[in-house]
């Protein structure tokens, strides 16, 4: 018999915690409500299971909420001893919860609650019940997310501005506790930089706390804390680090020591943003943005090789139908959700997860296609945000990037349908859309794709043309021209955000420009470290200096100094320099094709499938070994099967 777990209606756990997360943002002394429609968990749920008791006995059903049990045609209250005769039975538990979400738990040698149960919201559409491995004891509460904690100590403190400034040495996240012998009132300010925490007029999070004895403040991001007593007894503070125990299964170092520093900083940044879900950053929004998350999924597969946060994030972003607006109100972000579902299946090969989210994916797809214009193009409707990237883009009318994403969504929906044994109704639409994109957006004179065909500007950007190559819309001669006239054209404005820069770097790596990717990693991420950063920033402009680096969104300290989309080097170095790439769902097969670029030597450990690949590139040879089956080593066009547990040495 499997281990007992708390179970709930599928998606309720993710939706509830996403709801809580989305409604806790604070900024400049204000509570900052979420800007899009938020789904809520089911208030009333029915659970059922057919089982056979080998002998008679007793079970007890625990409910988070309230409810009753139906067994053998009788009703029983939750929490009571329920007699179970030997034989076959169907048990039904009906539960409601108006505060969090209904969840039930049974642990006995006759019956346990686990993922084999089914649940519905009294609509007679039963789905496999949801559960998480962290909730397996009767005292657990699925409404409380199971973080771990470690005590933190500041590396220094100093008296200044009438209070005490604490420096914890690097960015961190967690609760701060204020303590006093009696009644006190104190000012507590949080800062990612020293400048921010001491600039009391512009500090993003600064609060006045009145308390007696002890006050535990909500978990927030900080490197610096400023504490000043206003009234009452003296006040002290302590802090803890709040985190998930996710294991780094990848590592990378090269003959340039800066690369390991960049890798380690990117990994630490990513850990801070890997929580209930993948967050954008830990200071300002702390929201789940689909575009940010889409990149996080790719990074996490190499750093953690653990799908838990990825799947929770996908489910949270899907929410539940009917859909009232695009995901995060952004057209491109809805597309990323659907693409991420296919990519998660291809990464893990888990059809059960795919079947769980499939009804919502189809509803989201219907919402997307229901808002197309008369030409079948994605266009902005009231309430929509055509984001794509920060920067100068021609967003007049239907934007090319949105159509490329729609084309990929059509292909993804066709493939997902075939995987699940359903009719493919979208591949033909993909073919027609591709022809239309090539007709309307490819400018033969410029040899590149334009952002818009309605404005008359014929504006060419790196963003649009990177997507045309990255997503394989541009082929043959068109692809060659796009690479020459857009991707490698120094006259085009540069991409300045690590977000879309990662897409561009993935494109450059895909076309073999590994050394350019490595040089940019060293200059851009190395430049951030040169400014004294302990985590990767939301954006970085080397032309700025001092506190000017911290300004964004019209706020003096609006820039996030710990942003998940800045962790891209982990993906780039793992996938393209170490060259480890799964080639079938669940990585049952994979290839290892290292390309060191400008590095004279490198060492890497990269997770894949059920194991890892270890590489050492040191002239005159490269050594490769893996404990995962299904691998091949590729060098100069030839393939060598990799036998698990065997060490291979190839001459260079």
What is the structure's pLDDT at 390?
86
C-alpha 167/C-alpha 154 separation (Å) is: 5
- Burial of residue 263 (number of CB atoms within 10 Å: 0-12, 13-18, 19+): buried
- Provide the phi-psi class of 319: left if phi over 0, else alpha when psi is between -120 and 50, else beta: left
Largest CA distance in the chain: 81
Instruction: Report residue 513 CA to chain centroid gap.
Output: 27
Alpha helices in 240-350 (DSSP H): 257-273, 290-303, 308-318, 331-348
Task: Write out the DSSP string of 431-476.
Answer: HHHHHHHHHHHEETTTTEE-S-SSSS-----HHHHHHHHHTT-S-H
C-alpha 219/C-alpha 238 separation (Å) is: 12
What is the structure's pLDDT at 158?
97
pLDDT digits (tens, 9 = 90+) for 285-295: 999 999 999 99
| Edge-to-edge order in the sheet of strand 580-582 | 580-582, 590-592, 631-635, 638-642
Tokens of 325: 């607006």
pLDDT digits (tens, 9 = 90+) for 104-142: 999 999 999 999 999 999 999 999 999 998 899 999 999
Tokens of 151: 């005590």
Backbone φ, ψ for residue 65 (5° rounding): 125, -135
Q: Supply angle C-alpha 328, 276, 566, rounded to 5.
A: 65
Q: Which residues of the chain have pLDDT under 70?
A: 1
What is the structure's pLDDT at 1?
66
Domains of the chain and CATH, by start: 7-128 (2.60.120.260), 148-243 (2.60.120.260), 585-651 (2.60.420)
Based on C-alpha coordinates, what's the Rg of the chain? 27
* Beta strands 590-592 and 631-635, pairing class: parallel
Tokens of 348: 């893990």
Q: Supply angle C-alpha 386, 498, 616, rounded to 5.
A: 135
Q: Supply angle C-alpha 291, 296, 300, rounded to 5.
A: 160
- Burial of residue 527 (number of CB atoms within 10 Å: 0-12, 13-18, 19+): middle
Which residues, in sequence order, are CB contacts of 101 under 8 Å at separation 6+? 8, 9, 12, 13, 15, 16, 41, 42, 45, 64, 65, 142, 143
- Burial of residue 566 (number of CB atoms within 10 Å: 0-12, 13-18, 19+): buried
């Amino acid at each position: 018999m499997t281990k007992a777990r708390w179970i709930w209606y599928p998606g309720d756990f993710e939706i509830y915690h996403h709801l809580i997360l989305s409604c806790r943002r604070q900024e400049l002394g204000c509570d900052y409500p979420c800007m899009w429609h938020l789904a809520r968990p089911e208030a009333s749920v029915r659970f059922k299971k057919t089982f056979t008791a080998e002998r008679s006995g007793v079970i007890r059903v625990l409910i988070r909420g309230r409810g009753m049990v139906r067994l053998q045609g009788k009703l029983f209250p939750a929490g009571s001893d329920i007699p179970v005769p030997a034989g076959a039975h169907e048990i039904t538990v009906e539960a409601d919860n108006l505060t969090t979400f209904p969840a039930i738990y049974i642990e006995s040698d006759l019956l346990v609650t686990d993922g084999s149960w089914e649940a519905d919201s009294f609509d007679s559409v039963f789905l496999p019940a949801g559960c998480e491995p962290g909730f397996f004891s009767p005292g657990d509460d699925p409404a409380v997310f199971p973080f771990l904690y470690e005590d933190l100590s500041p590396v220094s403190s100093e008296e200044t501005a009438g209070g005490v400034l604490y420096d914890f040495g690097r960015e961190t996240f967690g609760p701060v506790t204020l303590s006093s012998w009696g009644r006190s009132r104190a000012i507590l300010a949080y800062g990612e930089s020293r400048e921010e925490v001491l600039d009391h007029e512009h500090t993003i999070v600064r609060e006045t706390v009145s308390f007696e004895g002890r006050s535990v403040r909500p978990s927030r991001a900080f490197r610096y804390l400023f504490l000043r007593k206003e009234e009452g007894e003296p006040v002290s503070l302590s802090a803890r680090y709040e985190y998930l125990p996710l294991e780094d299964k990848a590592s990378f170092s090269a003959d340039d020591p800066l690369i390991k520093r960049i890798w380690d900083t990117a990994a630490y940044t990513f850990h801070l943003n890997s929580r209930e879900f993948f967050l954008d950053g830990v200071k300002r929004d702390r929201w789940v943005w689909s575009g940010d998350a889409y990149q996080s999924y790719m990074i996490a597969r190499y750093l953690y090789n653990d799908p838990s946060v990825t799947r929770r994030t996908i489910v949270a972003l899907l929410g539940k139908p009917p859909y009232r607006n695009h995901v995060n109100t952004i057209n491109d972000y809805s597309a990323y959700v659907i693409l991420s579902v296919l990519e998660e299946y291809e990464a893990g090969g888990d059809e059960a997860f795919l079947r769980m989210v499939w009804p919502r994916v189809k509803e989201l797809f219907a919402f997307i296609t229901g808002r197309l214009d008369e030409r079948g193009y994605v266009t902005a409707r009231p309430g929509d945000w055509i984001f794509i990237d920060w920067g100068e883009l021609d967003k007049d009318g239907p934007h090319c990037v949105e159509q490329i994403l729609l084309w990929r969504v059509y292909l993804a929906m066709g493939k997902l349908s075939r995987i699940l044994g359903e009719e493919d109704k979208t591949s033909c639409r993909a073919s027609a859309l591709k022809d239309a994109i090539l007709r309307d957006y490819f400018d033969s004179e410029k040899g590149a794709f334009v952002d818009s065909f309605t404005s008359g500007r014929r504006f060419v950007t790196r963003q649009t043309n990177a997507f045309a190559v990255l997503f394989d819309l541009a082929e043959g001669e068109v692809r060659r021209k796009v690479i020459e006239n857009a991707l490698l054209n120094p006259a085009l404005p540069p991409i300045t955000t690590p977000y879309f820069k990662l897409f561009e770097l993935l494109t450059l790596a895909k076309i073999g420009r590994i050394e350019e990717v490595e040089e940019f990693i060293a200059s851009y991420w190395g430049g951030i470290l040169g400014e004294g950063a302990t985590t990767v920033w939301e954006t970085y402009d080397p032309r700025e200096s001092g506190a000017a680096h911290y300004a964004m969104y019209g706020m003096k300290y609006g820039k996030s100094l710990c942003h998940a989309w800045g962790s891209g080097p982990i993906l780039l170095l793992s996938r393209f320099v170490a060259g480890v790439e799964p080639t079938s769902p669940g990585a049952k097969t994979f290839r290892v094709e290292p390309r060191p670029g400008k590095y004279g030597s490198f060492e890497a450990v990269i997770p894949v499938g059920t194991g890892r690949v270890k590489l050492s590139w040191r002239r005159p040879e490269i050594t490769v070994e893996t404990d995962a089956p299904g691998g091949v080593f590729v060098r100069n066009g030839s393939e060598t099967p990799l036998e698990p547990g065997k060490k291979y040495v190839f001459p260079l």
